[in-house]
């Protein structure tokens, strides 16, 4: 049976001109919420890569570079340090985030943390490691349903709820399941969900094609899917055909913004882990199944 991968019709523009950055810095994997935009700031040397946070207020056009909170992480000799690939969302007047870190605990593997910034967006005010039941763990995305901060882990089909805002603890509240007629698959998270209508939410997930070569860095390609699910039952009601935006290969969609009319959609993404872009499309083009 042939496999079809479509290129998403959209308008693409750069978020940041890489030519303006120092040679040892890369901006990638953006995420957005409200007036704020996060971009992962990777600063590399011959011996390590530090992952800090660039926070941009798109309304005032101001920005802060926030260093990763060393005191809230364990000491490490890993190549990768800091907080990677934040997903941001507003909850109770704070900008909260999930992030991946290789030194959230003594396990020294990719694990998830949950926290929030201070009111001035100059530092991480509070943060803690969260156990989502698997290790390594990546791409667990936050979203707000009514007055609750929820987290979705598509890799394990799990939805969690923040149950302690001070000590930052979560509890699992739902196991998602594929609806009738949808072939189950082991998808990975990409963007935080956005509300569509009623109990229906939508987000981008991804699958990976690996190249089976005995090399240090395995070549791969990302395939994205638009997914819709019911937050009251956990039923995954729709999975689109696979697509890419601008580059067949390492292309990762990490942020999403939906306009008030619930039709126009902006996808924030990176290609080759070194270029941050934005794609403008609409919900009908995302909702293509085959």
CATH number for the domain harbouring residue 262: 2.115.10.20
The mean pLDDT value for 102-119 works out to 96
The rounded percent of the chain whose pLDDT value lies above 70 is 96
- Assess if residue 276 is contained within a domain: yes
- Assess if residue 57 is contained within a domain: yes
288 falls in which pLDDT band (50, 70, 90)?
confident
* 7-21, 111-125, 150-164: segment of lowest average pLDDT: 7-21
Structural domain span for residue 152: 21-286
- Assess if residue 16 is contained within a domain: no
The mean pLDDT value for 110-135 works out to 96
254 falls in which pLDDT band (50, 70, 90)?
very high
pLDDT above 80: residue 1: no
The pLDDT, as a whole number, for residue 218 is 63
- Assess if residue 15 is contained within a domain: no
The pLDDT, as a whole number, for residue 210 is 83
- Assess if residue 101 is contained within a domain: yes
Q: What value does the mean pLDDT of the chain take?
A: 93
- What confidence tens digit (pLDDT) does each residue in 221-245 have? 999 999 999 999 999 999 999 999 9
SS3 for the chain is: CCCCCEECCCEEEECCCHHHCCCCEEEEEEEEECCEEEEEEEEECCCCEEEEEEEEECCCCEEEEECCCHHHCCCCCCCEEECEEEEEEEECCEEEEEEEECCCCCCCCCEEEEEEECCCCCCEEEEEEECCCCCCCCCCEEEEECCEEEEEECCCCEEEEEEECCCCEEEEEEECEECCCCCCCCCEECCCCEEEECCEEEEEEEEEEECCCCCCCCCEEEEEEEEEEECCCCEEEEECCCEECCCCCCEEEEEEEECCCCCEEEEEEEECCCEEEEEEEEHHHHCCCC
The pLDDT, as a whole number, for residue 36 is 97
The pLDDT, as a whole number, for residue 216 is 57
- Assess if residue 95 is contained within a domain: yes
The pLDDT, as a whole number, for residue 163 is 97
The pLDDT, as a whole number, for residue 289 is 67
215 falls in which pLDDT band (50, 70, 90)?
low
The mean pLDDT value for 69-98 works out to 95
* 55-69, 72-86, 216-230: segment of lowest average pLDDT: 216-230
- Assess if residue 162 is contained within a domain: yes
The pLDDT, as a whole number, for residue 241 is 94
The mean pLDDT value for 177-185 works out to 93
113 falls in which pLDDT band (50, 70, 90)?
very high
The rounded percent of the chain whose pLDDT value lies above 90 is 84
What predicted TM-score, i.e. pTM, was given to this entire model?
0.95
Count of structural domains, the chain = 1
The pLDDT, as a whole number, for residue 26 is 93
- Assess if residue 7 is contained within a domain: no
94 falls in which pLDDT band (50, 70, 90)?
very high
The pLDDT, as a whole number, for residue 214 is 64
């Amino acid at each position: 049976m042939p496999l079809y991968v479509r290129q998403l019709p959209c308008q693409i523009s750069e978020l940041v001109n890489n030519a303006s950055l120092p040679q040892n810095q890369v901006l990638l994997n953006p995420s957005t919420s409200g007036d704020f935009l996060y971009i992962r700031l990777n600063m590399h040397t011959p011996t390590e890569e530090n992952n800090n946070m660039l926070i941009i207020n798109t309304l005032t056009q101001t920005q802060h570079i926030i260093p990763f909170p060393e005191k809230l992480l364990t000491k490490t000799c890993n190549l990768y340090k800091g907080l990677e690939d934040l997903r941001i969302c507003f909850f109770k007047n704070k900008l909260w985030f999930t992030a991946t870190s290789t030194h959230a605990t003594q396990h020294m593997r990719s694990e998830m943390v949950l926290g929030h910034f201070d009111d001035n967006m100059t530092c991480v005010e509070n943060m803690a490691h969260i156990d989502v039941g698997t290790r390594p763990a990546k791409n667990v995305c936050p979203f707000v349903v009514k007055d609750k901060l929820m987290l979705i882990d598509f890799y394990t089909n799990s939805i969690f709820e923040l149950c302690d805002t001070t000590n930052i603890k979560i509890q699992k509240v739902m196991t998602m399941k594929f609806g009738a007629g949808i072939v189950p698959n082991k998808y990975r998270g990409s963007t935080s969900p956005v509300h569509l209508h009623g109990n229906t939410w939508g987000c981008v997930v991804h699958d990976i094609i690996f190249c089976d070569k005995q090399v240090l860095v395995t070549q791969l390609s990302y395939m994205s899917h638009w997914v819709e699910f019911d937050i009251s039952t956990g039923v995954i009601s729709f999975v689109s055909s696979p697509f890419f935006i601008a580059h067949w290969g390492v292309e990762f969609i990490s942020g999403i913004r939906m306009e008030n009319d619930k039709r126009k959609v902006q996808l924030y993404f990176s290609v080759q882990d070194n270029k941050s872009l934005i794609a403008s499309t609409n919900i009908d083009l995302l909702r293509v199944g085959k």
